[in-house]
Chains A and B, each alone.
Chain A
Amino acid sequence: MSSMPPPRKAALRHELETIVGGGGVLSDPEELLVYESDGLTLFRALADFVVFPRSVEDVAAVVKLANREQLPFVARGAGTGLSGGCLPAEGGLVLSLMRMNRVLEVDYDNQVAVVEPGLVNLHLSWAVGPRGYYYAPDPSSQQACTIGGNIANNSGGPHTLKYGVTVNHVLGLEVVMPDGEIVWLGGRTRDALGYDLTGIFVGSEGTFGIATKIVVRIMKKPQAVKTVLAVFDQVDHASAAVSSIIARGLVPAAVEMIDQLTIQAVEDAFGCGYPRDAAAALLIELDGLAAGMEAQAARIVAACRDAGAREVRAAADEAERQLLWKGRKSAFGAYGRVSPAYMVMDGVIPRTKLPYVLGRVNEIAVAHGLRVGNVFHAGDGNLHPNILYDPRKPGEEARVVAAGAEIMKVCADVGGSISGEHGIGLEKADFMPFIFSAADLAFMQKVKAAFNPAGLCNPGKVFPTKKSCGEAGPVAYRPHAIETQGLAQRF
């Protein structure tokens, strides 16, 4: 946080209020505390102001003011991010987009919707649901996270295996550029003219500008859905089943894996019907036409049995299906039953490397004297090892951070990636060289310079930084307000 002289701060507050209205600006340190971190509470940084624009014009005016005053600024949605991406790492302004939360238009015939960035992901599916449509990207935090935040992170979710991630569903964006200019990238047609600016903007973690209108594809709800639970006595067998399903020519909508530690936590907390003694379980979902659904399910069952599953069963009805998914989606919350704190990792590996990497993850945790639970998107190879620890024990958090770095290195070394859906943000900026060369990073920096030449828009993110960068950095764990209020779960 910058140490802004009080008279300047008062003058700026007044000017911001004339843009967004009274009640649209926070500048007291107590009020700003809520915005000092996202879902990754390991990093904290205080802004000078949090402002709540209501329109694209508001956003543009605030951004122009920030440019005039040379203040860094960052957009923020629900704050459910898990990499510190929306932190005001260098002080300045936070633009909370939570008041821009409307569905502006739905064009069912062309299967597109135009929404504002502060719209909660799930609320879009609610809005179009009565007509038989939904918005496909479904991050586990979809009850809280916003579509603007999904744009920044190119968010995924369990069903990305079949339907792709956020970028595959975004056609166009109205953007306030880092200099305050309002520009449309892409539009409503499927093919944009020229470079795919929408495509490169999505996933740029707020460093290319602020999306103020978003054109997304909406999809017809599938005619039929079938959910299968496969139970394994060995983790390796569950891993092998994932490859076996793929090798049999099946592309399920989702293939999720839950290990024993996680199953026990979930069963303690919610009782969702997972067998407590299983080494691992796969939650597999098929969707599409009713015709052929049974035949596909039979192939899934056979693949799991051949891989050594001790039990494979389909959810008997919608209630059981919902319960199984509740277990999966609530897993992170359930860790609270077995540990005072945990840190969620996010890495990606080739699917065929699952058995090896899961073994290595466990070895690394053991070597650091830590326990690890796994609940993740196995079909995509997107791991989420969760390292359990007690923040009150001196030195334990540092061991978690060290173990996390080693796990990322393992993902990189098998040809994977250091993030599948949570982003780089502050957390992993220094891991970028694990997978990118200096030339790769320099090229990315040039792309950034084309969008954000002054560097005021979300500085200090994505790229390896000098350690002098702001006050943000790992601090002792405290639950963040959004966790204690139950507004968000980590996933």
Chain B
Amino acid sequence: MPTPLLDGLRALVGSDHVLSGVELSPYVVDGRTPEAAVFPGTVDEVAAVVARAAEAAVPVIPWGGGTAASVGGPPARAGVVLGLGRLRAVVEHEPGDLTVTAQAGLTLSDLQAALRARGQWLSLDPPDAERATLGGVLATNASGPRRQLYGTARDLLIGATVVTADGSIVRGGGRVVKNVAGYDLPKLFIGSYGTLGVIVEATLKLRPVPDDERLVAVRFERLKDAGSAVRALLGSDLIPNAIDLLDASAAAALGIDGAPAALVVGFDGLGEQVDWQVAQLASVVGPGGGERVTPLAPAAWSTLPRAAHDALGTPAAVMTLSVLPTVVAELMEQGASSARQRGLASAWSAHAGVGLVTAAVRAEGDRQDPAALAAVLAEWRSAARAGGGHASLARAPLAVKTVLPVWDDAGPAGRIMQRIKAELDPHNVLNPGRFVAGI
């Protein structure tokens, strides 16, 4: 890195808040070490850092907790990691308004703790809440089991402040729960992986903490039967807040041993509402082969989204597949079988009611064969497409990323995405080369 830029960054945020050299090892992505990592303390400093980097034509890589750093194409150039960790204030929480405004670097668990102290919560439960930051969760559109009932960031984010590619500060949306003034810019930043702007502050809708919440497991002899049970559940009067489908190894990772398949179902609300639903569950899923409705410990909520991942210890690759809910079980069976045929172990879990599937894969022994891995992942992607959906890599070795595109093909819509990127970041400053459609 040219010293003038490094000196300039140090002058902007203070030397203590700029890392270089060996201090950069936590920020290495796909083998590439950034030039520096900068941690601004204010929104204005974020803007100044982006402006300075843009001026020097050095890429800016927004960084929250680093929990999703493995997602995306390999970086083509080294850039400056822009860490948001010092921006962690709850700016405004008025319980009567059921909204919160907070800075991007606040971890999700800290935000939830602050909200719970006043009887409310943000109904978004992605994995790694202790490390994942609010900005990162939004930028990666991370979600968890409760999205079955409460949706995703697009249903909760009502306002966002971002620093744009030229270092201006732009606000979209607002602080009120209903707002159609102007374009809904917050939607554009959700899941944009920092390629259109650096999220520095966000306003979100909240919910009251429910009186009661319970998670239960139901065992099945076959995945297919569990899939049919999901359909029965969705068509019933029950209003589950989570419907996760696990294969045998993911179920075992959650402590549900010896079940070829398991359905994990959550309910919340008043005590009597939860009681009634748990009692009804057996009669809804029983006829399809569901057995032994068993309560799970509350801790299972946080391990549930990681079940497929944890089942394999350290998976070689993880894929996220988005399909129609009705094809989830079949996709899981088919995908596991294609991995087995190539001598690979796989583990599967799904937010089955919304069709979001996570699959992890690794070799049975120590030998990792990137070609076999890539072939299996490509087959999974084809299966997702056949199910009306798409699939992208959440994590894979560089050797796989170089032969298999990280992101699925966005088709003609990809051209619109490229045009948006070109308008908003014409010099390709923000996280270049890591996103969909080559963005």
Taking beta carbons and an 8 Å cutoff, which residues of A are in contact with B?
Answer: 107-111, 153-154, 156, 160, 164-165, 167-168, 177, 181, 183-191, 193-197, 199-200, 202-204, 220, 223, 243, 246-251, 288-289, 291-292, 295-296, 348-352, 377, 380-382, 415-424, 428, 432, 435-437, 439-441, 443-444, 446-451, 462
Contact = CB atoms under 8 A, between A and B. Distances in A.
Nearest to A353: B97
18 contacts: A109-B231, A153-B180, A164-B151, A164-B155, A167-B154, A168-B155, A185-B416, A203-B180, A246-B98, A289-B276, A292-B276, A348-B174, A348-B177, A415-B175, A421-B180, A423-B180, A424-B181, A440-B182
Given A292-B272, A428-B181, 6 more contacts: A184-B411, A190-B355, A196-B187, A291-B273, A292-B270, A296-B270
B21 interface: no
B42 interface: no
B119 interface: yes
A342 to B, nearest CB: 21
Nearest to A172: B413
A156 B273 contact: no
Contact of A417 (B155, B181, B420): B181
Contact of B190 (A153, A196, A202): A196
Interface string B347-388: 000000011100000000000000000000000000000001
A210 to B, nearest CB: 14
A456 B53 CA distance: 36
Interface stretch (B58-66, B163-171, B246-254): B163-171
Contacts of A220: 234-235, 237
B208 A200 contact: no
B154 A251 contact: no
Contacts of A291: 270, 272-273, 275-277
A216 B103 CA distance: 33
A154 B180 contact: yes
A435 B181 contact: yes
B96 A439 contact: no
A418 B181 CA distance: 6
Interface of B: 94-99, 119, 141, 151-152, 154-155, 164, 168-172, 174-185, 187-188, 190-192, 196, 207-211, 231, 234-235, 237, 239, 269-270, 272-273, 275-277, 322-326, 354-356, 388-390, 392, 407-408, 410-414, 416-417, 419-420, 422-424, 435-437, 439
Contacts of B277: 289, 291
Contacts of B190: 196, 199
A194 B96 contact: no
A382 B176 CA distance: 9
B271 to A, nearest CB: 8
Given A421-B180, A440-B172, A450 B94 contact: no
B155 A183 contact: no
A181 B411 CA distance: 13
* Prevailing SS type, chain A contact patch: loop
A327 B95 CA distance: 31
Given A109-B325, A196-B187, A200-B183, A440 B417 contact: no
A196 B181 contact: no
Contacts of A154: 180, 184
Nearest to B238: A289
A441 B166 CA distance: 15
Nearest to B267: A289
Contacts of A295: 270, 272
Given A167-B187, A352-B96, A440 B322 contact: no
Contacts of A349: 176
Given A191-B322, A247-B96, A381 B176 contact: yes
Contacts of B239: 288-289
Given A110-B326, A188-B324, A421-B178, A181 B183 contact: no
B417 A195 contact: yes
A447 B179 contact: no
B234 A111 contact: yes
Contact of A197 (B325, B389, B408, B416): B416
A444 B183 contact: yes
Nearest to A209: B416
Contacts of B208: 246, 248-251
A373 to B, nearest CB: 20
A3 B181 CA distance: 33
Given A197-B417, A435-B181, A447-B423, A292 B273 contact: yes
A420 B180 CA distance: 5
A165 to B, nearest CB: 7
Contacts of A186: 413
Nearest to B175: A415
A418 B390 CA distance: 38
Contacts of A422: 180
B234 A436 contact: no
A436 B98 contact: no
B423 A348 contact: no
B187 A194 contact: no
A462 B185 CA distance: 14
A147 to B, nearest CB: 16
Contacts of A444: 172, 182-183, 185
Nearest to B279: A291
A424 B155 CA distance: 22
A443 B234 contact: no
B185 to A, nearest CB: 7
Contacts of B411: 184
Contacts of A189: 322-324, 355, 388-390
B407 A191 contact: no
B204 to A, nearest CB: 13
Q: Which 6 A-B pairs have the closest CB atoms?
A: A199-B187, A249-B208, A194-B436, A291-B276, A243-B96, A292-B273
B189 to A, nearest CB: 9
Contacts of B187: 167, 196, 199-200
B429 to A, nearest CB: 15
Nearest to A181: B412
A110 B389 CA distance: 13
Contacts of A249: 119, 208-211
A424 to B, nearest CB: 6
A447 B425 CA distance: 11
A462 B154 contact: no
Contact of A194 (B169, B323, B437): B437
B416 A451 contact: yes
Nearest to A156: B178
Nearest to A177: B416
B269 A190 contact: no
A193 B410 contact: yes
Nearest to B164: A443
Nearest to A153: B180
Given A195-B188, A437-B171, A183 B179 contact: no
Contact of B424 (A202, A289, A419, A447): A447
Contacts of B181: 417-419, 424, 428, 432, 435-436
Contacts of B422: 450
Contact of B154 (A111, A199, A243): A199
A440 B171 contact: yes
Contact of B174 (A195, A377, A416): A416
Contacts of B326: 109-110
Nearest to A109: B326
A443 B185 contact: yes
Contact of A196 (B170, B191, B354): B191
Give the one of A108, A156, A195 with max B CB within 10 A. Answer: A195
A194 B181 CA distance: 24
A449 B423 contact: yes
